[in-house]
Amino acid sequence: MGSIGISAVRKEAKDKVAGRLKYLNDYNSPDLLYGALKTSTFAHGRIKSIDISEALKMPGVRAVLTGKDLPYRFGIYLGDKPPLAIEKVRYYGEPVAAVVADSQREADEAVEAIKVEYEALEVINSPTEALADSAVLIHENMDEYPHIDAIRPEPGSNIANRTKIRKGNIKEGFEKSHVIVEETFSFPPSDHVAMETRAAVAEILGDGRIVIHSTTQAPFVVKNLMGAYFGVDPGKVTVIAHAIGGGYGGKAGMQLEGLVYLLSKAVGGKKVKLVNTREQDMITSPGHIGLEAKARIGASKEGELMAAELLFMFDSGAYADYAVNISRAAAIGCTGPYRVPNVWCDSLCVYTNHPFATAYRGFGHIELAFVIERTMDILADKLNMDSMELRMKNAICKGDTTPTQSLLDSNTGDLKACIKRTAEMIGWQEGSRVVTEDGKIRAKGFGCLWKAPAMPTNTDAGAIITFNEDGSINVHCGVVEIGQGIKTGFAQIAAEKFGIDVEQVHVIMDVNTSISPHDWATAASRGLMMGGRAILSACEDAISQIKHTASQVLRCPEEDLHVWGGRVFIKEEEHIGLLVKDVALGYVYPDGNAIGGQVIGRGKYISRRLTGIDPDTGKGNPALEWTLGAQAVELELDPTDCSYRIIKAACTMDVGKLINPAMARGQIAGGMAMALSFARQEGFEFNDRGHVINRDLRSYKTLRIGDAPEYLVDYVETPQGDGPYGARGLGEQGVIGIPGALANALSRALGVPFNHLPLTPESLWKKRRDNR
Amino acid sequence: MKSYKDYTQLILKINGQIRKVIVSPNDTLLHVLREKLGLTGAKPGCENGDCGACTVLMDGKPVKSCIILAVEAEGHEITTIEGLKDTPIQRAFVEESAFQCGYCTPGFIMNCHAMLNTIPDADYDTIKEWLSSNICRCTGYEEIKKAVKKAQKIAGGL
Ligand code: FES
Ligand code: FES
């Protein structure tokens, strides 16, 4: 039969093309009340007054709240963010007041009637400004904020976290280097632009139970934090996540849920819905982190990397959210997938007066890879070496150590094979810069990738399997369907284990924290690996229960039985057996006696042998697995105006084992498209007052169909020994090497180093002009 | 010209059915479809005409229902994704895995459907022009292009 390695159609495909799959905002009922937010028009300002008197008189209004009413501070790692601004605002678009009304229109109209007066404070528009000695403090009381141990805030500064890596001896490393390159890099904050904006609904039931529906990738995180923030017994909080209209990390934290709960509380526990407008989704809710970085890398004459000194200054915006952990993840993987014996890295998460940042596809790795991959090309030029060869020479492999000094074991992917294959696909040998007959420049650029999940050491997953009367299976797991197709992947894994058709496996789409087995979060590209392991263990548990019951009927030892293709039978005498359907809900003898009862398969997985990292050196074992890969871009540029067209984007990834080729390709090509869009044309534009100018989809332009290149995708399959059927994560990785590859291709095309994103034709043109 | 003041009853023809609904003159068609008629297939993505998630057909032509007023739809034939049943483009979307999260899908399908009816043999440039009004953030558009090609074949009886 074989259910692994086939492109099984998504379980929810028919509903999606019929417009019948319901997303959170598609659920409406007459008892709903609606929330709306008043947001800040200052990027940094003291709130002098908020006048809600007019708003309160407006028709349909049930409640108006301001920061004064809500003395809380939230934060997934560092508790720095009030649900509504208290005393001051720290970014343009920050919520300062909220209204609950009978309809969305009435809520919106009441928001317009709220009057806020601010006194402008100095605006910090970049990490460099934030780190200046004279910089104003964005969080004056940082020392009072609670935080987890892994995060190291520096009160009295604008640094929310500093993660250090000290490996080998950096001084010696540079002394031994023949060639040293040093460069600076940057890109502004940007946005995920999930097509579904964030939404949440909360109600408080008569017995105090809280029910939250949310567009969340992390229902269990929300449940846990709701309990922690509000002192509510976690068993009294239910969080329900429906299918989500795109996440990319942007829905992985705690976002609207806390506020919407407080709104519900303000109206006696009635059901309140809060939905972001597109503009709010872009700037009020968190987006993609910005970065300023310095890299100094040394190599021997032969191009062997000797030392890397890296300073990452992440632009966290006004609050820390996931950004503190992104800066940590970037430190852990700081060198990219290369063998570097001597490493010094300080990775800082810096507050600014920009919209704040949360998880974004690639989580620290797309950011660090841009820095590293550009530096590799600059180094190759200086060494007079082919940039692909330089990568090949230094590609990390089994037996090497990572920046945190942890040893890469036999589960490590084959980066060299990936580089080789990508070079073939993109036609690297045919030349990386060619001038065409009509005067256009065709250029290619390379970029490698690696990524490990950044997650707690005890990250877990669980699965439950039950049976129907026809022997078909129901699989229940707490990973959220965000478009990655995880439910279908799980069905394939279960089908393979039972030797049945994927059609015979049913999945439960929604996740409900009161019913679903615990799952850390749908993030870090660990759903397939960890959830998959849990599904396998649930299958094994179910199989042993089936065998137990069957062994009594068939009068044979359990060990002699095999479950496959809807039957349980004696291995050597296949004709002696029973149908699974006759056993899975209890076996009934001809005389009516029943035994065994129903089979409920329980499965779980918890990450193994992970540790934190040493605060002074970064030494430790924080990475569950590393996915490795190599990417390349080919483009055609018109040197007269620097406009360009991306022709091809290529990726070879060591995925361990391909579970569903169509979905894997979709993830990887989709990731490349997202990264091309980011690197080429996305990024918030700020005026000197810290206002975001491009906060709608008309002025903030994402990739459209006509800009899409041809995608070349291939795989290497070095099994992940502890992954399900050898598989490892691949959902985020497609983005990682692309910004570097694009910048490398453009730098090669024009002979000018491009180290700052986005790479719009205008910015290329200006840079070329300045360079002349 | 008919003028509308305050809440008014409209008679809309949607997916071949007559639907009566009370609207405010400044309610968008998207709002009325979703909140008053329970037709939630059309999605809000920007409510500013930029993303195409809300696309429906008005007399067979794709329109962004977030920038059309419900009152403007009176007297026209409206088709939403709920009105399509197993069309070539829907089948092709499934077969080519032309979506991930699916949020952009109804809008894309409506636009593709209208294009295929209007220009059955649309070439790549035409496809690009029509579909540039829709954003998909999950896919790299590759599978959507393939689905259009496949739907052309299915519709052509190939
Ligand atoms: S919601 Fe209508 S175009 Fe975006
Ligand atoms: S499938 Fe998610 S936006 Fe298109």
- Domains of chain A and any CATH numbers: 31-121 (3.90.1170.50), 290-403+411-455+611-771 (3.30.365.10), 459-606 (3.30.365.10)
For the stretch A700-718, pLDDT in tens is: 999 999 999 999 999 999 9
B141 touches chain A (CB under 8 A): yes
| Residue in chain B lying closest to A481 (CA) | B101
Nearest ligand 1 atom to the CA of B133 is 3
For the stretch A443-495, pLDDT in tens is: 999 999 999 988 889 999 999 999 999 999 999 999 999 999 999 999 999 99
Of B47, B90, B127, nearest to A278 by CB-CB distance is: B47
**pLDDT at residue B157 greater than cutoff 80:** no
A1 touches chain B (CB under 8 A): no
3 state DSSP class of A67: helix
- Flag if A705 and B105 touch (Cβ within 8 Å): no
Give CA–CA dist A435/A443, Å, rounded.
Answer: 9
| Residues of B in Cβ contact (< 8 Å) with A26 | 34, 40
**What pLDDT is stored for residue B158 in this prediction?**
63
Q: Which of A29, A195, A488 is the mutation pick for testing B, counting most B CBs within 10 A?
A: A195
B143 touches chain A (CB under 8 A): yes
For the stretch A708-761, pLDDT in tens is: 999 999 999 999 998 999 999 999 999 999 999 999 999 999 999 999 999 999
- Using an 8 Å Cβ cutoff, are A720 and A529 in contact? yes
Quote the tokens at residue A424: 């073939």
Task: Report CA torsion sign: A126, A127, A131, A137.
Answer: positive
pLDDT band at A654 (very low <50, low <70, confident <90, very high): very high
pLDDT band at A1 (very low <50, low <70, confident <90, very high): low
A244 alpha carbon to ligand 2 midpoint, in Å? 10
For the stretch B110-151, pLDDT in tens is: 999 999 999 999 999 999 999 999 999 999 999 999 999 999
Concatenating the DSSP letter of every residue in A218-281 gives -HHHHHHHHHHHHT--GGGEEEEE---S--TTTTSS--SHHHHHHHHHHTTT--EEEE--HHII
A94 alpha carbon to ligand 1 midpoint, in Å? 24
B4 touches chain A (CB under 8 A): no
How far apart, in Å, are the Cα atoms of A584 and each of A239, A525, A537, A601?
A: 31, 33, 17, 10
**Extended strands (E) in A107-229:** 115-120, 159-167, 179-187, 199-204, 210-214
Three-state SS string over A663-708 comes to HHHHHHHHHHHHHHHHHHHCCCCECCCCCECCCCCCCCCCCCHHHC
Give the lowest-confidence range in A97-101, A526-530, B33-37. Answer: A526-530
**What pLDDT is stored for residue A90 in this prediction?**
98
B69 alpha carbon to ligand 2 midpoint, in Å? 26
3 state DSSP class of A470: coil
Q: How many CB atoms lie within 10 A of CB A399?
A: 11
CB interface of A with B, residues 192-211, below 8 Å: 192-197
pLDDT band at A227 (very low <50, low <70, confident <90, very high): confident
For the stretch A379-394, pLDDT in tens is: 999 999 999 999 999 9
**What pLDDT is stored for residue A556 in this prediction?**
97
pLDDT band at A294 (very low <50, low <70, confident <90, very high): very high
**What whole-number percentage of chain A has pLDDT above 70?**
100
Pocket test of ligand 2: the residue of B93, B97, B103 to mutate, having most ligand atoms within 8 Å of its CB, is: B103
**pLDDT at residue B1 greater than cutoff 70:** no
B144 touches chain A (CB under 8 A): yes
Q: Is B51 in the pocket of ligand 2 (CB under 6 A)?
A: no
**What whole-number percentage of chain A has pLDDT above 90?**
95
**What pLDDT is stored for residue B4 in this prediction?**
79
B64 alpha carbon to ligand 2 midpoint, in Å? 17
What is the value of ipTM here, to two decimals?
Answer: 0.97
Q: Which domains does chain B have, with CATH numbers?
A: 8-81 (3.10.20.30), 88-155 (1.10.150.120)
Top pLDDT among B146 and A525 is at B146
- The mean of the pLDDT values for chain A is 96
Give the residue among A587, A275, A327, A556 at the shortest CA–CA distance from B47.
A275
Ligand number nearest to the C-alpha of B42: 1
Give CA–CA dist A73/A88, Å, rounded.
Answer: 14
Mean pLDDT over A29-43 rounds to 97
For the stretch A491-504, pLDDT in tens is: 999 999 999 999 99
Q: Phi, psi at residue A178, to the nearest 5°?
A: -90, -35
